[in-house]
Structure 1
Amino acid sequence: MAALATQNIVAAGTAPTFGAASASDTAEVGNGYNTFAVYRNSGAASVTVTVAAPGNTSYGEPNPDPDFTLGDGSSNPTEAWVPLRKEYDAGDGSGRATITVSPATNVTVAIVRVG
């Protein structure tokens, strides 16, 4: 598991640096409104990105983990911008969320903060 660094997007424009995604990473949730995990798939297999949503609903059931699907990116990479909400904070004082990717082959990621 890697702790992914957050890159600030500036008004003049920024091209974020993407790195290889692993099966499980952590990322800063920021203020919960302007931080995103940007995933790119360049492989033929569909990829599922899942953000762990800790805690329970008001009915005592575990919160559902949101999934995002990236389709076949072999001829044209597919991309998903995943909002990192405050609700995804692991609650361990780190201010980070856990994100899993399956499969992680041919997938890159950048954590960006806008503003």
Structure 2
Amino acid sequence: MAALTLNTLDYATGAVPTFEAASTSDTVNDAGNGHSHFLWYKNTNAAARTVTITAPGNTPYEQANPDPSFTLAATSGELMIPLHPAYQDASGLVTITLDAIAGVTVAYVRTP
């Protein structure tokens, strides 16, 4: 499991986020307030990828919360996923998995 590095955008200067190689299981230590933190994926591989966020906890009916999944298009696909505070586990981490990582980079970004 790899911890992603937070990139912070700035009102005065903007920012060019640093993209890093994705792993099959990444973590972030803060989901923000539901409007300020997101994951930005890029895929240069010829195959689409599936990005899944592990949703902790249970529904009111004591069933495991469903894990949200997102499709990252092939070749020149880009995907931005807003993070929700409900994605954080008891230790404050958000866990993200990918079905395959060849050609996939990710930036963990926070808006001001």
Using the size of structure 2 for normalisation, the TM-score is 0.93
Amino acid at match of 2:42: R
1:42-57 to 2 correspondences below 5 Å: 42-57=44-59
Structure-to-structure mapping, 1:1-115, within 5 angstroms: 1-11=1-11, 12-27=13-28, 28-73=30-75, 77-92=76-91, 95-115=92-112
Instruction: Give the secondary-structure state (helix, strand or coil) at the position aligned to 1:36.
Output: strand
TM-score where L is the length of structure 1: 0.91
Give the Cα separation in 2 of the matches to 1:96 and 1:32.
14
SS in 2 for 1:87: helix
Distance in 1 between the 2:5 and 2:43 partners? 19
Give the Cα–Cα distance (whole angstroms) in 1 for the partners of residues 108 and 89 of structure 2. 17
What are the Cα deviations for residues 79-111 of structure 1, in whole angstroms up to 9, with x where unaligned?
Answer: 11111110000112xx22000011111000000
RMSD: 1.0
Structure 2 Cα separation of the partners of residues 50 and 91 of structure 1:
18
Percent identity over the alignment is: 47
Secondary structure of the structure 1 residue equivalent to 2:52: strand
- Aligned-partner Cα distance in 2 for 1:24–1:43: 18
Structure 2: unaligned runs, 5 residues or longer: none
Consecutive aligned runs of 4 or more in structure 1 exceeding 3 Å deviation: none
Q: How many residues align?
A: 110
